[in-house]
A and B are shown apart, each in its own frame.
Chain A
Amino acid sequence: MTPKAPLSLKTLALSSALLAAAGPGLSPASAQQNGGFDAHQFQLGNGMQIVVLPNHRAPIVHHMVWYKVGAADETPGQSGIAHLLEHLMFKGTKKNPDDTYSQFVVRHGGNENAFTSNDQTAYHQTIAKEHLPQIMAMEADRMTNLVLDEAEFLAERSVVIEEREQRVGNNPSAKLGEAMTAALYQNHPYGKPVIGWRHEIEDLQRQDVLDFYDKWYGPQNAILLVAGDVEPAEIFELAKQTYGQVEPTAAPSERLRPQEPPQYGQRRVVIEDETVGTSQLMIRYLAPTMVKRDPNLFGDQADPIALSVLAYILGGDSTTRLNRKLVEEESIAVAAGAYYDPNGLDYSGLSAYIVPAPGTDLDAAEAALNRELDLVLSEGVSDEEVATAIRRMKVELVYEQDSLTTGARIIGRALSVGGNLDDIQNYAQRLEAVTKDEVEATAKAVLKKKQTVVAILRPTEGS
């Protein structure tokens, strides 16, 4: 039931994700309270985009390369290939064989990792600034020169199967999340898990992965983000000497995925399992994103920023509707909330969840949750709710300045699905301008039962 968080190369923290059902979505693409990030944009001759975010707090840099490819770009039957490739990108090139690159990072006290989502794949390092030229040279090298040994391939494929079992196989809540996503998308590849189905991962071959790499990896399909103790001009020069030397490949410029047909009815997914600790229920609505608002599903009135405000009004903090009414006033639930992630190339989801209080059955909990969602449609929202949500969302933006990596992540995530820097820089102003009417019109456009899945987790009787 987790929001579709990107997978990453390294191990999961040992914390349990069982209740991540309640986790907030990724924060919306957003910007500093006072006028956005200090972001400088360039482009190389081979088409690679560059964004530099100077931050002189410490002599450190955060370096990321984002590829505009993710799990939703996989060929049917080959689920998991984008993520498996992400793992294999650490296996070396002719010039930097085996783990030369990783050893360089470790040797200089740096951190590295990578992640894959439906729409993007990114590789990143944090390291003392003086090592940046070598990092850029080695990252540019592995953009097109990956060497893949069969034995290493097989071992890493096993690692990914272990990763899948650790994330999903051991975790009924994650299984429900997979089943729910598969039901939400009737045609679009977002229905597949990013990590892939186990039987398809087991069948992936070395050559399949290399073909995928050749098809999608290249400078014209990549974005460089550098945040930290650097100047824009210096990065542009370094990028020309490194990434600028990589020949463009024939990476597809358009990502045309099968789109969703009209949806005719609510779907229900129930997992009943002896390893479930407590009942929980979630309703997920298909939703538009910052870059796409499919008119066939949402008409022409759905606005992603107004929808972020609506999600806040429902579940932004403990005073907002679902927690205040269902948890505090009526004691129907021990937890209730909502979240929405406005990112995504094609679609996203607005989710509302409830964990029933002892003595409340799931049917009553579902009815109460539906009552609150219906109330938004029948009664609308108040001016005060809208103003409060905007005020609190805006004040939270200040925290984005207190990070070396957040700005780069927000910008990388947006640009890799075709968003632009202006949208991010103007986020605070757009947020402030959201009106009650827009929130209500967006609610009507998105809160359609026929475009939902209800997902239920419950313990086996008597377990």
Chain B
Amino acid sequence: MYRLIKSVSKSLALAGCALAASFLPAGASMDIKEITTPSGLTVWFLPDQSAPLVSVSFAFKGGSIYDPAGKEGLAFLLEGLLTEGAGDLDSQAYSAAINDIGMRLSFSSGRDYFTGRFTTLTDFQDRAAELFNATLTQPRFDQEAIARNISQVKTRLQIDAKDPQWIAIRQMRELLYADHPYARRQRGTDTSLDAITRDDLLAFVGDRFAKDTLVIGASGDISEADLGPYIDRLFADIADTASLKSFEKATLNNPGKMEVRDWPTPQTFIMASQEGLSRDHPDYLIAYVVNHILGGSTLSTRLNKELREKRGWTYGASSFFSLGDLAPLIQIAFSTQNEHAGDALALTKEIWGDIAQHGISEQELQKAKDYIIGNYALQRTSIRQTARYLQGLQIAGLDRSYPNVRSELIGAISKEDIQRVAKQWFAPERLRIVAVGQPQGLDDTLEAAKAAE
């Protein structure tokens, strides 16, 4: 189930996380190196000798929205097919070569970006570079492998179709985006998958794997001097420029609308979405703090205090940013037993608007800042995490100095900033809601939602 498993972790593409908040222990400074390789590629790098590994995370522009019409699922299919053979090596020989040296290579298709993660033992880094480069530049796409992978993705679709969370995600996309490309089926349909040919796969590689959109983060046990030439070997012979069309930003539809999908489970899965801030918005960090207080990643958020700790209505409720380039969102998600669904949603909406109405105390703000600042370093405790982090910073459009000024930026946020941004952005009446299950007590909310339309 190699292919299938790979895709499981991606079932929440809509709920893609915000760039992990990052931070340093007080006083420490992070000296991210920017290296220009001999061939002109740019790499952000942090050396780390704590394990004999080199890890490279990379992203090309060219996620699923760039799939040709009628061939939805192309990028998703590529995630698996790229590691099914390259050059002289068929799928079995390729897999043997990779596993013999403990090389790890995986691809992931978002809506905007197609990303990859590569890690090798330093002992085998030369062989790994050859295999990696062949993967990008000489993929085989044997007919047998194409057929097998399409069959696997179709099985994945059958499973998604019965998964309450995936049902909610799909329904939410239709509600939000109507005919914008963000509403497309990222994993395709049986029909669109059958329409994909070997030429489409080759065109994908030729059009989207290009130096001009490539972003690279690297870490590990390698010197700065050796890294540039090494990166050049990895990405040698890919195109200089990508061939991609451009898209309009999405306007989100149906503010305040709720849809219920009947599903025979003891719990209702509730998902709510509203307009969010893009990463380059001047108020982004302030909104990040507001979200942390309401529904961020700890058990002491307002949502968890009220829904989980006081009332026992859920195992956990959380809210998070989804930073699609064409439509940033803020989303909420939780499961609750059907009998609590109406009450839990009403309370969630109340909490969602509470900071705008009443503001927050200095103490609550300070607590949030302390966590957000203090937790930053904990998110990079391995070479692999660090490489991914460095790639993420660049996708987010941040400066190399950002990790060193982040604490100061967060420290400067005031109570007034928080209330202003909460008022402007955190709007319970704008939440689009999808509930999957057999919820009780949603009728009133549904009526109110209809009245608001």
Contact = CB atoms under 8 A, between A and B. Distances in A.
Contacts of B12: 14-15
A334 B53 contact: no
Given A19-B4, A319-B95, A109 B374 contact: yes
Contacts of B263: 275
Contact of A401 (B51, B160, B310, B318): B51
Nearest to B48: A57
Interface in B77-91: 91
Nearest to B335: A166
Contacts of B166: 16
Contact of B163 (A11, A16, A23, A327): A16
A380 interface: no
Contacts of B313: 158, 162
Given A12-B315, A327-B148, A395-B101, A109 B333 contact: no
Given A277-B162, A335-B2, A358-B154, A109 B373 contact: yes
A319 B89 CA distance: 13
A331 interface: yes
B375 interface: yes
A56 B289 CA distance: 31
Contact of A162 (B10, B151, B267, B383): B267
Contacts of B311: 155, 158
Nearest to B90: A328
B267 A166 contact: yes
Interface in B138-166: 144, 148, 151-152, 154-155, 158-166
Nearest to A22: B1
A106 B300 contact: yes
A47 B191 CA distance: 65
A109 B53 contact: no
Among A11, A55, A388, residue most surrounded by chain B Cβ atoms (within 10 Å): A11
B433 interface: no
B267 A165 contact: yes
Nearest to B340: A162
Given A109-B23, A162-B313, A404-B382, A169 B265 contact: yes
B96 to A, nearest CB: 5
Contact of A169 (B160, B267, B298): B267
B100 to A, nearest CB: 6
B12 to A, nearest CB: 5
A248 to B, nearest CB: 31
A3 B28 CA distance: 41
Nearest to A392: B99
B38 interface: no
A170 B267 contact: yes
A149 to B, nearest CB: 12
B397 interface: no
B335 A398 contact: no
Interface of A: 9-12, 14-23, 55-60, 90, 99, 102-103, 106-111, 126-128, 154-159, 161-163, 165-166, 169-170, 274-278, 316-319, 323-324, 327-328, 331, 334-337, 353, 355, 357-358, 388, 391-392, 395-396, 398-399, 401-405, 459
5 contacts: A60-B378, A158-B311, A166-B267, A317-B95, A404-B382
In the complex, the 5 A-B pairs of residues with the closest C-beta atoms, listed nearest first: A109-B374, A158-B312, A11-B316, A22-B1, A335-B1
Interface of B: 1-5, 8-12, 15, 23, 25, 28, 48, 50-53, 91-92, 95-96, 99-102, 104, 119, 121, 144, 148, 151-152, 154-155, 158-166, 263-267, 269, 298-300, 308-316, 318, 333, 335-337, 367, 370-378, 380-384
